[in-house]
Amino acid sequence: MVTNEGCSVTIERKSTILRRRLGRRIKRLRESAGLSLDDAALRLEKTRSSLHRYETGESRVDVHLARSMMDLYDMYDEGLLDEVREALKPRWFRVYSPEDMGYVDVETEANLVREFAVLNIPGLLQTKAYVRELLQTSAVRRTREELDNQVKVRLIRQRRLTSEEDPLELITVIDEAALRREVGGPEVMRAQLRHLIEAAALPTITVQVVPLRPHSAMKGAFILLSFPEPDEPDMQYISYSTGSLHIEDQREVAAAKLLFERLHSEALSPDDSQALIERVNAELYGT
């Protein structure tokens, strides 16, 4: 963790949401058994700091250690073992080695994404051709395989917007400038804007557009992620040209939520936003 202008920021995530969730569970077991961190660490033959890392999700708990904890705490919980096994499984995206692995990891566990997009159409709403063109024109050099893998990851992430088993809700506010910035030529943009209009009709997606005028978030784009577990705090994600920030300080996250609500009120309604997207498409691409 480092501090950047008063923000608590994780530059490189050392734990996943799954491990943090598991850590809170084993901490509750210890507390229910009436054992302090020091007492439990001694009896588990662990240092206090190492047990603390397990309980915060910084270190991985294996099945053997989980069984030892349940024996010590005199509480058998098969669900805990299932959660340990799940947390130890390789994540689906690792085979593709995505460049934004930390974000993909967190988004995979989220059930709600709120995104303010300025420069480009939000990733979850991009067409295959639009994604590929963005990646090809970026400053990052990629092999053909790396480029293909980045595109695949983005398209796989989008499946959750129509999934019944593992749905993801997206609420996005888009600066009109992103609609007008041509990526990949007229045909790519025409298809992208059509796709955006069609996606906005899905029950899991809300699209609003901020017209070309000053607004509350002139400093740039950001994403807010929320999770189904009530004890998992919301998170803010900001991407920039040479990296990204995962902001977990809840004062900063709360401020970002208020900012998003202001943008929501400043933006056109979903119906008026759709009409604007259609007008932009007709104006620029004749359709």
pLDDT, position 30: 96
* pLDDT one-digit tens code per residue, 127-159: 999 999 999 998 788 999 999 999 999 999 999
pLDDT, position 282: 96
The CATH number of the structural domain formed by 92-285 is 3.30.870
What is the pLDDT of the chain when averaged over all its residues? Answer: 91
Q: What is the pTM of this model?
A: 0.86
pLDDT, position 98: 87
Domain definitions of the chain by residue range: 17-88, 92-285
In this predicted structure, the answer to whether residue 6 has a pLDDT above a threshold of 60 is no
* pLDDT one-digit tens code per residue, 76-131: 888 899 999 988 888 888 889 888 888 999 999 999 999 999 999 999 999 999 99
pLDDT category, 12, cuts 50, 70, 90? very low
Q: HEC profile for the chain? A: CEEECCEEEECCCCCCHHHHHHHHHHHHHHHHCCCCHHHHHHHCCCCHHHHHHHHHCCCCCCHHHHHHHHHHHCCCCHHHHHHHHHHHCCCHHHHHCCCCHHHHHHHHHCCEEEEEECCCCCHHHCCHHHHHHHHHHCCCCCCHHHHHHHHHHHHHHHHHHHCCCCCCEEEEEEEHHHHHCCCCCHHHHHHHHHHHHHHCCCCCEEEEEECCCCCCCCCCCEEEEECCCCCCCCEEEEEECCEEEEECCHHHHHHHHHHHHHHHHHCCCHHHHHHHHHHHHHHHHCC
CATH of 17-88, one of 3.50.30.60, 2.60.40.10, 1.10.260.40, 1.10.10.10: 1.10.260.40
